Amino acid sequence: MHVSPNLISGKRRYLAGVVLLPFIAVICVAFGLKDDKGFDIARREVLLRKIGHELLLQSGDSTSRVLPVEKIAENEYQIRFENELTFSPDSLVNTTGRLLGQDPQARDYVVNVLNCGNAGVVYGYAISKNKKDDIITCKGRNQPTACYIINVKFKPTGLSAATGGYILGGLPILAFVGFLFFRSAKPKREALDQDTGIITMGSVFFDAQHRKLTINGNTTELTGTETRVLRIFALSPNETIARSRLQKEIWEDEGVIVGRSLDMFISKLRKKLEVDPNINIVVIRGKGYRLEISG
């Protein structure tokens, strides 16, 4: 079957859009993730530094410094202090829980307090978003004054809530852009009406523009309605076409749909096509019609 270059070009543009749009979406998400992740890291480090500040105050130290928070791994940080301090496990658990509660990604984390001299763990606990999985021991036992490092390790959580919000917020815009692209690229039925190509169906040549059928060298004239009906079948050979679709596409512009009119025009087309035994319009009971082409 011969289909016009315009239709092929339209389909190619449509398929190109289907392929390119996901890539555009991935790029947009990637940039959103990069910017948002940098902000989240900076905010988390501020919260960790504030934890160190409150621990010093609880230790009775309001003058020495909390040293710069060090990121030692992708999701692991260390809080260091200028001077020695003492801490209460109860206060440590409550302070970190209260402040890290402001971090949407800090749902699961492990805190270990290390001794600066030998890097031994003097105290540790684990917090989970499922509270029954929390691991907190040795509360109520104050630790002696010494040099400590607070090590906080977070469980990776994938997309943050904020990042997810940005992405979801951008989806309507992306969908609108995609709609505009597909609307302009997708082959339209109106464009098919301007097709000047000849469609070949077996030994039948269908000239829709001039409303003619040529079979074995003999030319038969078609009416305007017969041409519209046959065009729908010719562009979807060996596929079932719903009766409602045929009626809608052929007669809706005239404002009146007469059920028996479709049967009449299909009957006329059958007679004009019967010269070629390899092509026929058959009834698919309960569904519609199909242009069958064999040989």
DSSP string spanning 272-285? HHTTSTTEEEEEET
Question: Would you state the pLDDT for residue 24?
Answer: 63
Per the confidence metrics, is the pTM higher than 0.85? Answer: no
Read off the pLDDT of residues 12-61 as tens digits, 9 standing for 90 and up. 665 666 666 666 665 655 555 455 677 888 888 999 999 999 999 999 99
Alpha-carbon gap, residue 130 to 133, rounded angstroms: 6
In sequence order, what are the beta bridge partners of 214?
205, 219
Alpha-carbon gap, residue 75 to 7, rounded angstroms: 53
Same domain, 135 and 246: no
DSSP secondary structure code for residue 69 in this structure:
P
Number of folded domains in the chain?
2
Same domain, 38 and 139: yes
Alpha-carbon gap, residue 277 to 75, rounded angstroms: 74
Answer with the residue of higher pLDDT: 196 or 17.
17
Same domain, 153 and 235: no
Same domain, 144 and 216: no
Same domain, 60 and 152: yes
End position of a domain, from candidates 109, 141, 161:
161
Q: Residue 197: pLDDT above 80?
A: no
Same domain, 41 and 137: yes
Same domain, 37 and 155: yes
Read off the pLDDT of residues 94-130 as tens digits, 9 standing for 90 and up. 999 999 988 887 889 999 999 998 878 999 999 988 8
Same domain, 43 and 124: yes
Report residue 64 CA to chain centroid gap: 51
Same domain, 41 and 138: yes
Same domain, 218 and 118: no
Same domain, 156 and 246: no
Domain span at 52: 31-161
